[in-house]
Amino acid sequence: MTGGPLDDVLVVDLSRALAGPHAAMMLGDMGARVIKVEPPGGDDSRQWGPPFLGGERDRESTYFFCANRNKESITLDLRSGDDREMLARLIQRADVLVENFRPGGFARLGFGDDRLRELNPRLVHLSITGFGHDGPERSRPGYDQILQGEGGLMSLTGAENGDPAKVGVPIADLLAGMNGAFGVLSALYERERTGRGRVVRTSLLAAMVGAHAFQGTRWTVGKEVPVPAGVHHPSIAPYGLFQTQSSPVQIACGSEPLWRAFAGVVGIDPEDPRFATNARRVANRAELTARIRRALGARPAGHWLRRLAEAGVPAGRVRSLDEVYEWEQVAAQGLLITVEHATQGMLALPGPTIRFDGNSHAGGRRTHLPPPTLGQHNDVIAQWLRT
């Protein structure tokens, strides 16, 4: 027993790459037992790199590590009748099944919705696709960067007046996984009342459209087509990145009191008719930005961060990732965990994002499992299925 809120939940993870594995890992972080079912060659992401750890015989991808903590691994060839039967036995015991086959792909292996209900009517089945499970483009393969473009995110990301840009992490995959985990938990809660499972469907396209936030309503309601705004917020000013004498700082004046406090720090009259309201500041952003840059350029970043903190204005640095993982605040929040890998020894990994009161550990578990080697738990799980 893991001690987490999901420590009586069994998840069978048939997914590959990132969206599905991320959803299953989130459930594992909360204490679920997650059995990752891989083809004999392994999850695609085991080959993604560099960087890799180890030598030719025990090489492991650091990419694979990012989405597969708190899991066990078995290998099954689903072209084999015996291995399909073993998967069926796993499904009979499972609470949750996660897969990201293209629409119809899992059914062609003999595991359509009717068969799954026959095997386990209490099963919560999460299916994640690229473009959705129906509609004219349902069969298209979905990869993160394709969906960042097709889903509109790249059209509003990047330098002002510059080329479209993708987000620096696979955000479509990550958000699809988070949405899937949320759907699974909702279905498990419903199952407590109905006694029946549910098919949960989501997609990378849904993740992108669902993440548009105010940019979406700029078009659906306001009929404005958003374009890249670079390092500044398109609807709030000042809100963005500004260069100082030494290095850039980020400043967020999300209310009129914050604007007045900030204006006092940089020597701008907050009642200047050009800047007196947020709408006027957005309309006169170029002039306002030039004024702010002139003021901030006179002193280094540390000076301004101290002054802004004293005035209660939200501000911050732009940290590189090595600086982030060496930051005491990150350590204090349990966002970096240490696990012992079967072949690579002690590993530091980004940790779970949720903590519970009364629990000093990150996530919901007492201890975390390292990402598994391929087929590491074949014998253990085969023996368990025989009991």
Instruction: Supply the residues annotated as catalytic.
Output: 233
Which phi and psi angles does 75 have, rounded to 5°?
-110, 130
CB 334 within 8 A of CB 355: yes
Using CB atoms within 10 A of its CB, is residue 68 exposed (0-12), middle (13-18) or buried (19+)? buried
CB 296 within 8 A of CB 266: yes
CA distances in angstroms from 267 to 54, 249, 260, 298, listed in the order given: 56, 17, 10, 12
- CA 295 to CA 242: how far, in whole Å? 10
Alpha helices (runs of H) in the chain, residue ranges in sequence order: 19-29, 62-65, 81-93, 105-108, 113-119, 144-150, 171-194, 204-210, 214-220, 256-266, 278-283, 285-296, 301-311, 321-325, 328-332, 378-386
- CA 327 to CA 284: how far, in whole Å? 37
> Which among 126, 130, 159, 156 has a CA at the least distance from the CA of 145?
130
> Which among 20, 206, 204, 17 has a CA at the least distance from the CA of 98?
20
End-to-end CA distance of the chain: 18
Residue 376 C-beta-side C-alpha neighbours within 13 Å? 15
Output the six-digit token pair for 25: 């890992």
- CA 246 to CA 299: how far, in whole Å? 8
- CA 247 to CA 244: how far, in whole Å? 5
Output the six-digit token pair for 148: 């960042």
Peptide bond into 370 cis (omega under 30): no
- CA 264 to CA 73: how far, in whole Å? 58
Beta bridge partners of 336: 350
